[in-house]
Amino acid sequence: MIRTDEEKKKMVEINKRMIDKVVKIVDLNDSYWVGKIMEVVDHETFSIRRNKNSDPKEVNIFNVRSM
């Protein structure tokens, strides 16, 4: 879907409410892992850390499920 810059900015602001939330991430082959949202990269991508010692991974918003 094509979105205007204004729509993208609004989506980013809404997604920022998810920072510090623990979520389930669905990977390929329907496997999943649990992580914490660290920041919003863009209107459809989160930076999520699996644990304190892991590097954050960029995850598409469509692969994130709330818990």
Question: How much is the pLDDT for 30?
Answer: 81
For tokens 């997604």, name the residue.
15
Query: CATH number for the domain including 23?
Result: 2.30.30.140
Task: Give pLDDT tens digits along the chain (67 positions).
Answer: 799 999 999 999 999 999 999 999 998 888 999 999 999 999 999 999 999 999 999 999 999 999 8
Quickly count helices (H) and strands (E) in the chain. Answer: 1, 5
Tokens matching residue 52: 């304190």
Q: How many domains does the chain have?
A: 1
Instruction: Pick left, alpha or beta for residue 46 (phi over 0 → left; psi -120 to 50 → alpha; otherwise beta).
Output: beta
Question: How much is the pLDDT for 67?
Answer: 86
Question: How much is the pLDDT for 56?
Answer: 97
Domain holding 18, by residue range, is 5-66
